[in-house]
Structure 1
Amino acid sequence: MNIFKEIAGRVCAAWALITFIITFILILPFALISYLFKEPASTAYFTKVSKIWMRVWMFLIGCPLRICGTGNFEKGKSYIVTCNHNSLLDISLSSAFIPGPNKTIAKNSFAKIPVFGWYYSKGSVLVDRKSEKSRKQSIEKMKAVLKAGMHMCIYPEGTRNRTGELLKPFYNGAFKLAADTGHAIIPGVIIGTKTAVPLSKPFFFLPRRLEIHFLEPVAVGNKTAGVLKEEVFHIMQDYLLQHQ
């Protein structure tokens, strides 16, 4: 039985890759139109195109979507969205389905991929984690994103969670950004991507129901970055315990 599952996982992974490339080529001309607009209208349009692309692709690869809690985003406000990170599919769920224009903090290595690197860069604030200068510049860029009325999506675990725990310990960046700017944090809990694309198996994918739950905003008030980090960590951890 395991042999059949392993074969099916590789076949599904190949299908997912092929359909990803084909749908990306088809959607790219529409995404390029975003350059005709100024921010935040440019990113707002780009996000809508991404949402259509991801809905089509998720349908083709057999992953039903459930998006919950979009009503927690108050119109006219920009938020810092903190998402757990288990798989590359997390980016598809977060950036495309956060209500309204948004950018994601992302490592700059993917930006070097021909053609796709442009698309990836458009929806991201890029950072070279090995460069202190780049990390400092990314903070200022994220503040500019929020000031422009867009949401900023951050994965506080830093990298994909390869541990047996529900969450890895959080880094300070998202919470320092919140404390510095006063923008509330909306925890985003992603469910299903860890089993769809297990990190222990190379080039493996099995269709699963995928979900992202946007929880109630966490106000900054007079809280320090450390207090915010602990509060958001426990909110997300408790939610995962209840819904896994």
Structure 2
Amino acid sequence: MKKVLLTLYSVYGLLVFLLTFLALLPFFLLAIFVKPFEGLAAPLNFIWARVFFFFLFLNRTKLYFEEKVNSKQRYLFCANHTSYLDIPTVGLIWHNFKFIGKASLRKVPLWGFMYSRLHILVDRGSLRSRHNSWLKVKEAIHKGFSVVFFPEGGILSKNPPHMVNFKEGSFRIAVEEQIPIVPITIPYNHILLPDKMPLTMHPGRVEIHVHKAIWPTGTDDKAVAELKQKVRAVIENKLEEIGAYEGR
């Protein structure tokens, strides 16, 4: 019976995702095809995330901010990544940002088109794609956007919420552009939507911790390594502090 209920809940979650996306699609298309409206994408993501989780979890979402996010400051937001729920979860933060995501997301019908036009996709197996995404991230920053990245490079951990090694690309951008990184800890999404096939939703509460911004302390390779270490330590310490490694 439990398996049947979870299957029904998963189907319901998919329908909520699709219906809320379709309802907002005309506005996403406006943001795609009319350049002056490109900035609509971020508030649309926020609205979509709020509506999605309202119907999915009866609005049981909890955001913790160590300090207020400055709407006029450009950031690199750095989050651990264990579930497909992580993207809408980060969307709960009100800020003008673009995501860096895997190139394979382009294959998702309709949604993938929207995502690829409004955000930045990268094929980590292609040197050319990595270089192009690097340029697009810098271009977005110079236009005034913040950028969200998952430093593990995907959902790769075999034992979440334990993390795999961080890739250094985004930390190097932060050092080169001298902008701060905001670490984000998402402790329980791997329980709500495990990265296993078939994808199965579990009811529960989404929780997200937005930490204090960390500024680069230099402009060389040492500054990149230090920034990466500091950001990882913040996320790991929060996971340990709230008991995420032991589960709920």
- Per the normalisation by structure 1, the TM-score is 0.90
Structure 2 counterpart of 1:31: 28
Amino acid at match of 1:174: S
Verify: 1:46 aligned to 2:45, yes or no.
no
**Could you say what secondary structure the match of 2:57 adopts?**
coil
Q: Which residue type is aligned with residue 28 of structure 1?
A: L
Q: 2:161 aligned with 1:162, yes or no?
A: no
Instruction: Give the drift of 1:37.
Output: 5.1
Once residues 66 and 148 of structure 1 are traced to their aligned partners in structure 2, the CA distance between those partners, rounded to angstroms, is 31
Where does residue 55 of structure 1 map in the other structure?
Answer: 50
Residue of structure 1 equivalent to 2:106 = 111
Structure 1 residues 191 and 77, CA gap change in structure 2 (3 angstroms): same
Partner Cα distance (1:144, 1:70) in 2: 29
User: What is the Cα deviation at residue 175 of structure 1?
Assistant: 1.0
Identical counterparts, % of pairs: 27
CA distance in 2, matches of 1:37, 1:67: 32
Q: Distance in 1 between matches of 2:5 and 2:118?
A: 32
Distance 2:215 2:80 in 1: 19
Deviation track 1:75-119 (CA, whole Å, cap 9, x = no partner) reads 32100110000100001111x233321111111222133321222
Q: Does 1:241 align with 2:240?
A: yes
- Matched with 2:19 is 22
Q: Which whole-Å CA distance do the structure 2 matches of 1:149 and 1:212 have between them?
A: 24
2:227 is aligned to 228
Q: How many residues align?
A: 238
1:174 aligned onto 2:194: no
User: Among residues 100, 120, 123, which one is paired with 1:125 in the alignment?
Assistant: 120
Deviation string for 1:32-80 (max 9, x for gaps)? 22246546x523x111122212211212222511222284322321001
Q: Distance in 2 between matches of 1:127 and 1:23?
A: 26
**Matches of 1:70 and 1:28, distance apart in 2:** 33
- Residues 107 and 171 (structure 1 numbering): CA distance in 2 closer, same or farther, change over 3 Å? same
SS at match of 2:62: strand
How far the C-alpha of 1:12 sits from its partner, in A, is 1.0
Structure 1: gaps (5+ residues): none
Q: Which runs of 5+ in 2 are unaligned?
A: none
Deviates more, 1:70-79 or 1:55-64: 70-79
CA distance in 2 between counterparts of 1:65 and 1:122 reads 28
Aligned partner of residue 191 in structure 1, secondary structure = coil
Aligned to 2:143: 148
Matched, 1:135 2:130: yes
Alpha-carbon distance in 2 for matches of 1:70, 1:111: 34
Change (3 A) 1:38 1:221: farther
**Distance (whole Å) between structure 1 residues aligned to residue 137 and residue 84 of structure 2:** 21
Retained in 1: the 8 A contact 2:102–2:154? no
Letter in 2 for 1:212: I
Contact 2:101 2:121 in 1 (8 A): yes
| Residues in 2 aligned to 1:164 and 1:112: alpha-carbon distance in whole angstroms | 27
The range that moved more, 63-72 or 19-28, is: 63-72
Q: Give the RMSD, CA atoms, in angstroms.
A: 1.9
TM-score by length of structure 2 reads 0.88
Cα distance in 2, alignment partners of residues 183 and 230 from structure 1? 16
- Shift of residue 221, structure 1, vs aligned partner: 2.0
